[in-house]
Amino acid sequence: MLLTWLYVPGDRPDRFAKAVAAGADAVILDLEDAVVAGRKAYARDAVAEFLAHPQPLPVQVRVNELTGPDLDADLAAVAGRPGLAGLRLPKVESPATVAAVAARAGTPLHPLVESAVGLESAYAIAAAHPAVASLGLGEADLRSDLGVADDEGLLWARGRIVVAARAAGLPPPAMSVYADVADLDGLAASCAAGRRLGFLGRAAIHPRQLPVIAAAFRPGDREVDRARELLAAVAEAQTRDSGTVVLPDGRFADRAMVAAARRVIDLAARYAA
């Protein structure tokens, strides 16, 4: 139940420790889009050196494309490093490529769907291997592939990713990055829309985005109160040996509502600690 991830270019080792201390739940060191071709080797070495030691929070690495020339070097550099918590796999279009990386990497995998082809195979990708720990959407590339310019054009794609992840038994997915780091109001509105679709959390490209994302996905006081009310009513019904739970506002509570309430309480407790 992590809400915030912070991307850092792999060729900026001066930012690695700062990113870990910036307040995100996890950090992603990016060897792919954030690094130009001529600096790939430098970035790879810098990331490998940083991950030679355990880190206080999860640090993932976004490797280069699975069918490209840099993947072998990426895996050789970072796989097995004490500080590595997982790999982000970009532009995934086939479950076979995910399974092939899983056989070599020995770490949790986080595939990113970034094309129409990948979107059509979203569930198969999510269920490709036990090492798959989450499923994500790379919206910038997908926008280009689909020819859409706004969030409305991605509505179906976002919903498909949420359904595919949950159908494969994975956690709710996190949203893709919001590119305009100055537009915090737009970020908040976008996060709220994503939460209504079933997303949980979001990746950031600047530390100033982290509090906005956390606030958007963290349960509010009213939500927590309603969850506690539901669980208290369930506990009271159990003392009466009754399978019927009616809340004070007249709603009937079923097992799905109970499970959702417990997730709210757990998430609230995590962020209150």
Q: Report the binding-site residues.
A: 62, 114, 141
Contact of 184 with 209, CB cutoff 8 Å? yes
Burial of 269 (C-beta count, 10 Å sphere; 0-12/13-18/19+): exposed
Q: First CA to last CA across the chain, in angstroms?
A: 14
Which amino acid appears at position 146 of this protein?
L
Segment holding 8, helix H or strand E: strand 4-9
List CB contacts of 83: < 8 A, sequence separation 6 or more.
Answer: 50, 51, 52, 53, 54, 55, 59
d(CA 99, CA 131): 8
- Strands 26-30 and 59-62 turn out to be parallel
30 contacts 62 by C-beta, under 8 angstroms: yes
> CA 145, 195, 111 angle in degrees (round to 5)?
45
- Annotated binding residues for Mg(2+), written as ranges, equal 114, 141
Q: Where are the alpha helices (DSSP H) in the chain?
A: 16-20, 40-50, 71-78, 95-105, 116-120, 122-126, 139-146, 155-167, 184-197, 210-217, 221-239, 255-272
Q: Which residue numbers belong to the known binding site for substrate?
A: 62, 114
Structure tokens at 184: 């915090």
Closest CA relative to residue 44, chosen from 84, 104, 95:
84
